[in-house]
Chain A
Amino acid sequence: MATTERVLPISALDRFNARAQPRPRIAVHKFSSCDGCQLAFLNAGEALLQLAQRVDLVHFAEAGPVDPEAPVDLAFVEGSISTPEEAERIRRVRANSRYLVSIGACATSGGLQALRNFNADGAVGWTEAIYAQPEFIQSLGSATPVAEHVKVDLELWGCPVNARQVFQALRQLLFGVAPVVDKDKLCVECKRQQHVCVLVAKGEPCMGPVTHTGCGALCPAFGRDCYACFGPAENPNTAALACRFEGLGLVPEAVARRFHFINSHAPSFRAEWLKWQEPE
């Protein structure tokens, strides 16, 4: 089910190394997240060992090396910014990195935890509901994408991102090639794989028509509707899709919830959610 890979093998980094000394320095940083995106590296198996031979992994706490303040050529950032300490730390990461790549929904749109941004009394009320002693909890009222805090050179969507995405970005940036990110909608990939359309054939409220491609059209392959974990595609026609959902029998609140999920803070999804809050 993997889409065809038209990227350089990791061994191509040897040419980079021959030209430029010292070896490229890479960091993987974690903010508020589930750790799922870093697994794109940790689950890569042999490719991870090859990578470790060709670059210096100076900071990647899950894999072992810890040196969060070291200057690097390329920093991958997972997770959203949700505490005062994180807002501080992301500035230092930016200052120490030549390129900064946000990986995953959390880092790129705030992710699932950005749902807190819409809570009427802010996260404060929730803290009180969950923790017996809320005064001990340090938290910002919001969980926001990295790009709302510092400049981001490349955004990789997905919850989680996969190995193909991160290794492709790594090669392209280290070779000084402008990174190419496929901007198609999920539907295109789904049709390419010749799945039965779950929206047309089964009447499921599939988010494929407005969702960023990249996952390999997994949900339609399983006969279920996409829930947009890869975030909004470029120029998504969210209004038309929302009306279609209503036509399928979804009540306005259920239509709103389709956009108010993994990438609720992404502007186009946020706007559509707002529209369905108080339908005329």
Chain B
Amino acid sequence: MSEQREIRIEVPVLARVEGEGALELTASGGRIEDLRLRIFEPPRYFEKFLEGRGADEVLDVVARICGICPVAYQMTAVQALEQAFGVEPAPWILDQRRLMYCGEWLQSHALHIHLLALPDFLGFDNAIAMAQKHPEAVRRGLRLQRLGNDLIRLFGGRSVHPVGMRVGGFHRAPDPARAAAVLAELRDALPDAEALVAFTAGLDLPEDDQEFTSVALRHENEYPMYSGRIVSDRGLDLAVHEYPEHFEESHVAHSTALYAHLHGQPYLVGPLARLNLNHDRLSGAARAALAATGLRLPSRNMFHSVIARAVEVHEAVLQAIELLERYRPREPAHDPVTARFGQGHGATEAPRGLLWHRYRLDADGMVRHAQIVPPTSQNQARIEDDLRRSLESFGLHHDDDALRLHGEMVIRNYDPCISCATHFLKVRVRRR
């Protein structure tokens, strides 16, 4: 009889898709028979709160879905609402939006790389413990994170739930003197950002090649952030509004987060998917720093996500410098908007991956129906797939602690959300 043991891994306090989560797996003869990542998100009903709200209220509501990436939610919603109202924002507005979005990428990626992921790769329980031994690495992370927050504040007054965006543009254009100060900070940070790429590529990352489908936006000439078509490495190429015809959200018994599938299959969104599909769109300096690492793309190793994040930090700093160098204030900072009946779609690249919104509005421009597909629900099936494969290739003969640590590292690697990424998995083993 083959050895069969039931391994139970529990995450007692999950978040963003927050609440409680657990991982249960049954293994036999070195193979996993059943695996379920359970996520218990206290339902927060955001799509329902949006019904009956006006367009500008929407921006203040959706920000509060996630304190880590409020800008991504505002950007995606504003895009959808403007489409519904038939507004084409001026190039100046699109530039400022990308600039503000760079701030969120910087803030979120710097936080994840240094405070959440690095302790895994350097062998610490958490960043606070790690700071004793590697103060410079932690300080570099905090500097880049602060810089990202400063950039968001320039446009929104604060970095969590910023108040500066409106349908049609911004409430106020940043003050040129403050913009110049942030530009100086960004220039100073460039060596940090460039060094970060080499640093992450030098980490001792596990070798683990897997098959998966990458999905990301693709733009004619930019590295995708604020706009583009939805593409995959299997030939998918869609306009944003065609998303529901190919992607399906479903609800399974063991989780309260909705699962998304592409043609019935799991898929990956996020930094590694973006880089796999768009490395030819990086700016020259970012491409050179990446080439120097020798990383071959597309990569099939999910642990390369940390390198992809570092490349995107570098790219965000470069883009922000470029955009700020040609910054000129504009008065007013928004275009006129007339509310009307309609429907609009938006898709942008949140730090964690593709974010998709759809709004139906009534004749007064009030929300009738809203649908939001966040990156974490899109990655959930992929995370389960990854856990199954990587735990098997890691070896189920390892003891519970080693399995738990490896499982945690796999989940964290997706940066599913800041808090769900840091919680402990509990392993309970029962032999039958």
- Where the two chains meet, the residues of A that have a C-beta atom closer than 8 Å to any C-beta of B are 1, 30-39, 42-43, 45-46, 48-49, 52, 57, 61-66, 68, 82-83, 85-86, 111-113, 115-116, 119, 123, 126-127, 129-133, 136-139, 143, 159-160, 162, 215-216, 218-219, 221-224, 227, 229, 257, 261-262
Contact = CB atoms under 8 A, between A and B. Distances in A.
Nearest to B68: A35
B128 A52 contact: yes
A85 B18 CA distance: 13
Contacts of B107: 43
B67 A39 contact: yes
Contact of B65 (A34, A46, A131): A34
B256 to A, nearest CB: 6
Interface-centre pick from A61, A66, A224 (highest chain B CB count, 10 A):
A61
Interface-centre pick from B52, B57, B166, B251 (highest chain A CB count, 10 A):
B251
B111 A42 contact: yes
Given A32-B44, A219-B157, 13 more contacts: A30-B15, A35-B15, A38-B67, A39-B159, A45-B146, A49-B131, A111-B64, A126-B43, A131-B258, A139-B42, A227-B60, A229-B161, A261-B60
A117 B166 CA distance: 28
The DSSP consensus for interface residues of chain A is loop
Interface residues of B, number: 67
Nearest to B125: A64
Interface stretch (B227-235, B390-398, B416-424): B416-424
Contacts of A83: 19, 42
Contact of A35 (B40, B67, B119, B423): B67
B287 interface: no
A35 B127 contact: no
Contacts of A65: 125-126, 128
A43 B159 contact: yes
A86 to B, nearest CB: 7
Contacts of A35: 15-16, 18, 66-68, 417-419
B172 interface: yes
Nearest to A81: B42
B61 interface: yes
Contacts of A227: 57, 60
Given A45-B142, A116-B45, A130-B45, A39 B18 contact: no
Interface-centre pick from A34, A64, A85, A136 (highest chain B CB count, 10 A):
A34
B172 A36 contact: no
Interface of B: 12-13, 15-16, 18-20, 40, 42-45, 47-49, 52-53, 57, 60-61, 64-68, 70, 107, 111, 115, 119, 125-129, 131, 138-139, 142-143, 145-146, 149, 157-161, 163-164, 166, 171-172, 250-256, 258, 417-419, 422-424
Nearest to A85: B20
A127 B149 CA distance: 35
Contacts of A34: 16, 64-67, 70
Nearest to B119: A64
B43 A139 contact: yes
B43 A123 contact: yes
B163 A218 contact: yes
Contacts of A66: 12-13, 422-424
Given A34-B67, A42-B115, A160-B161, A131 B256 contact: yes
5 contacts: A30-B419, A35-B16, A43-B146, A64-B115, A222-B172
Contact of A61 (B52, B64, B68, B422): B422
B326 to A, nearest CB: 23
